[in-house]
Structure 1
Amino acid sequence: MKYRTLSGLLATALLFGCSSSEEIVPDVPPSELYADAQVALQSGNWLTAIEQLEALDSRYPFGAYSEQVQLDLIYAYYKNDDLPLGLATIERFMRLNPTHDKIDWVLYMRGLTHMAQDRNFMHDIFNVDRSDRDPEPVKAAFADFKRLLERYPNSQYANDARQRMLSLTNRLAEYDLATADFYLRREAWIAAINRAQELQRTFPETEAARKSLRIQLEAYEKLGLDEPAQRTRELIDLNPI
Structure 2
Amino acid sequence: MPLTFPTRGAMAAVLLSLGLGLGGCDALDPTNLFAEKYKPEAVPDTPADKLYSEGLAKMEDKDYENAAKQFEQLDKQYTYSDWSRKGLLMTAYANYEGAKYDDAINASKRYLQRHPASKDAAYAQYLMAMSQYKQIPDVTRDQERSERALVALQELVQKYPTSEYAADAKAKIQITRDQLAGKEMAVGRFYLEKRAFPAAINRFRDVVSKYQTTRHAEEALERLVEAYMALGLTAEAQTAAAVLGHNFPDSPWYQDAYKLLQTGGLEPREEKTSWISKVYRGVIGRTAAAE
Say whether the fold is shared (TM-score over 0.5): yes
Structure number with higher relative contact order (C-alpha < 8 Å, ≥ 6 residues apart):
1
**Aligned counterparts of 1:188 and 1:66: Cα–Cα separation in 2:** 57
**Aligned counterparts of 1:109 and 1:64: Cα–Cα separation in 2:** 20
**Aligned counterparts of 2:53 and 2:151: Cα–Cα separation in 1:** 35
Query: Pick from 60, 65, 77: which aligns with 1:42?
Result: 60
Structure 2 residue 72 is matched with structure 1 residue 54: yes
Structure 2 residue 80 is matched with structure 1 residue 72: no
**Aligned counterparts of 2:165 and 2:114: Cα–Cα separation in 1:** 22
Q: Is contact 2:52–2:71 with CA below 8 Å preserved after alignment?
A: yes
TM-score normalized by the length of structure 1: 0.74
Q: Is contact 1:74–1:86 with CA below 8 Å preserved after alignment?
A: yes
**Where do 1:103-142 residues align within 5 Å?**
103-119=121-137, 130-142=138-150
The C-alpha deviation readout for 1:148-177, integer Å capped at 9, x for no partner, is 222222111111111111111211211211
Q: Is contact 1:57–1:70 with CA below 8 Å preserved after alignment?
A: yes
Q: CA deviation at 1:185?
A: 3.0
Corresponding residue for 2:283?
A: none
Corresponding residue for 2:116?
A: 98
Amino acid at match of 1:182: F
Structure 2 residue 157 is matched with structure 1 residue 149: yes
Q: Is contact 1:177–1:209 with CA below 8 Å preserved after alignment?
A: no
The C-alpha deviation readout for 1:60-91, integer Å capped at 9, x for no partner, is 43455211111011111112121221121122
Query: Pick from 212, 216, 229: which aligns with 2:224?
Result: 216
Q: Give the secondary structure class of the aligned counterpart of 2:119.
A: coil
Comparing both structures, which one devotes a greater share of its residues to helix? 1
Q: CA deviation at 1:134?
A: 2.1
Q: What stretches of structure 1 of length at least 5 have no aligned partner?
A: 1-26, 120-129
Which region of structure 1 is more displaced relative to structure 2, 40-49 or 52-61?
52-61
Structure 2 residue 183 is matched with structure 1 residue 169: no
**Aligned counterparts of 2:205 and 2:82: Cα–Cα separation in 1:** 56
The C-alpha deviation readout for 1:117-146, integer Å capped at 9, x for no partner, is 214xxxxxxxxxx11322222222222222
Q: Percent of aligned pairs with the same residue?
A: 26
Q: Is contact 2:101–2:131 with CA below 8 Å preserved after alignment?
A: yes
TM-score normalized by the length of structure 2: 0.63
**Aligned counterparts of 2:230 and 2:82: Cα–Cα separation in 1:** 69
**Aligned counterparts of 2:218 and 2:145: Cα–Cα separation in 1:** 25
**Aligned counterparts of 1:62 and 1:230: Cα–Cα separation in 2:** 64
**Aligned counterparts of 2:163 and 2:214: Cα–Cα separation in 1:** 27
Amino acid at match of 1:88: N
The CA RMSD measured in Å over matched residues stands at 2.5
**Aligned counterparts of 2:114 and 2:214: Cα–Cα separation in 1:** 39
Amino acid at match of 1:140: R
Q: CA deviation at 1:55?
A: 3.5
Corresponding residue for 1:184?
A: 192
Structure 2 residue 213 is matched with structure 1 residue 205: yes
